[in-house]
Structure 1
């Protein structure tokens, strides 16, 4: 562990602790996990950027249907590649210590595929298709499901969900916090 610690100054560790929901020890543990994805690259360069394919080797991301999209949302570059700081931010938001409101904000961004700050029909179709995986629903079933979602949560009847409407859904969901979690 001494080798991992030596890559960061005490000030850097303090900054990471201040900017995340992690302790200094957890930051070092996150770096160890990040480094394990590409030791040849990260071992000598704490600022290394890993391609999405490497990040998706992280066990809980590899089985997550939104793994690529999560990387895109948390990446500081447009290609989805991640620096340690991107990875740390991702792990922090998915940690148990992150508040529900922060998790809801990031879940909304992950589901907002077209980036228009609304969850429209096309976004909801993509979410449903990712969630159903190989057990795809037919178009009629998808349209009925979207209709039910909008009937339940689209309070202003504009045919899409705003962040406020989405947050209302997450507030009512008893398992949202458990579902939106990745262990370090």
Structure 2
């Protein structure tokens, strides 16, 4: 099964992935962007804001996704794969592009292999403001609270549009409570 954890920056994906690595020791853990050698380079370029064009940034994500699908997803389809982000984020962050066009491009990049279950960690505006104030922000986080909340809204829209089995979890809940909800969802 191919499972994805989605959420805007600071939603707690990394914390939950650390917990999942202890609970699902035989699973394949990966991330997008950055789950492959090429992806790691592209991730660095994206986070440093190297792409001055939003279209170029989108194609960098698609290049990473194609490589990730070929090198990580396809060889491990017979195992439990748990990924930090996926095409859902890739589509959501490409704000200046039509969602249906982006889905079509992602079908090419992923060879029509989409996640089977999606976990979305959601933040309220107040919680997001607090969490961003507690850390050094990267180029995407520096785009601001309203930008990130727009992305979160698009994440939900895309998940619903693709009709993939999903769970939306309040990311301000206790860490262990979130972990239990995620584990139950994966195991159901």
| Larger radius of gyration between Structure 1 and Structure 2 | 1
Greater relative contact order structure (CA < 8 Å, 6+ sep)? 2
Q: TM-score range by the shorter chain?
A: under 0.3
Pick the structure with more strand per residue.
2
